């Protein structure tokens, strides 16, 4: 079942019992209350007023700014994990706009950094092939496709261990050098796109890979950001965990 394409799994979903991805209670892919909670979380971040149009932002050690629509906790975290696990297209329809909002803000910020006219490319952070094979789909490319956005496949994953069960320090070590460019990228400008920024190690590794290939990363966009990088991982009582 897990290797079936998302569209077939969604079709089968109407025959199988399911519970809301956000709250786990209502008998539907995602209930209206959880959809409203996602929107409300995005609007809360948008109204916070800092520092760029109020979207949630984080500065990586490299100085690169990351724009995120949601805080990775509660209903948001549950929904993202369920989407990554099952590729449910109903969830994609609710998440795609939130990712696109972060990309739009990142793009506006990025264009302000360059004086000449440049063509911005969206570059998804690659996940380990084994993870995509297990899922049967790639979550970020699925969300970009659902929004009609094209992605440049210029990075590849070396296939090292998944980040999922690692703490922040282990993630930094594991991510270092785990991503590489598959060609030289002189004169090309990118916005890196990922689902969740936790320690920032994976994005930093992707930035290094693009820089090593002589390309330029102007900003990053993610669906969600963890509340604080020092925060402990969720307890085993939660039915979500940090994604890889």
Distance (Å) of CA 243 to CA 16, 29, 46, 104, 110: 25, 19, 24, 23, 27
Cβ of residue 73: shortest distance to Zn ion, in angstroms? 15
Residue among 37 and 175 whose Cβ is closer to Zn ion? 37
Q: What angle do CA 22, 135, 67 make, to 5 degrees?
A: 55
Cβ of residue 20: shortest distance to Zn ion, in angstroms? 3
Cβ of residue 37: shortest distance to Zn ion, in angstroms? 8
Residue among 42 and 67 whose Cβ is closer to Zn ion? 42
Residue among 82 and 127 whose Cβ is closer to Zn ion? 82
Which residues contact Zn ion (rule: CB under 5 A)? 20, 22-23, 26, 31, 34
Cβ of residue 85: shortest distance to Zn ion, in angstroms? 16
Helix (H, G, I), strand (E, B) or coil at 59: strand
Residue carrying structure tokens 């890196």: 192
Residue among 19 and 145 whose Cβ is closer to Zn ion? 19
Count of beta carbons in the 10 Å neighbourhood of residue 228: 7
- 87 Cβ partners below 8 Å, 6+ apart? 6, 9, 135, 136, 137, 139, 142
């Amino acid at each position: 079942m897990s290797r079936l394409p998302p569209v077939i799994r969604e079709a089968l979903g109407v025959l199988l019992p399911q519970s809301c991805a956000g709250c786990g209670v209502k008998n539907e892919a995602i209930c209206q209350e959880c959809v409203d909670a996602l929107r409300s979380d995005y609007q809360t971040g948008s109204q916070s007023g800092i520092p760029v149009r109020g979207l949630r932002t984080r500065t990586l050690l490299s100085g690169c700014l990351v724009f995120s629509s949601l805080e990775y906790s509660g209903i948001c975290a549950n929904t993202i994990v369920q989407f990554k696990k099952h590729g449910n297209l109903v969830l994609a329809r609710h998440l795609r706009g939130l990712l696109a909002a972060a990309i739009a803000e990142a793009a506006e910020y990025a264009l302000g950094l360059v004086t000449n006219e440049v063509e911005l490319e969206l570059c998804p952070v690659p996940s380990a092939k084994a993870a995509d094979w297990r899922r049967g789909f790639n979550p970020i490319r699925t969300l970009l496709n659902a929004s009609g956005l094209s992605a440049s496949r210029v990075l590849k994953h070396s296939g090292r261990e998944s980040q999922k069960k690692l703490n922040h320090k282990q993630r930094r070590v594991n991510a270092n050098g785990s991503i590489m460019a598959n060609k030289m990228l002189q004169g090309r400008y990118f916005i890196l796109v990922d689902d969740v920024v936790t320690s920032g190690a994976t994005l930093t590794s992707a930035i290094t890979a693009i820089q090593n290939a002589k390309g330029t990363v102007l900003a990053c966009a993610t669906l969600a950001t963890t509340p604080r990088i020092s925060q402990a991982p969720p307890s085993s009582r939660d039915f979500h965990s940090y994604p890889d």
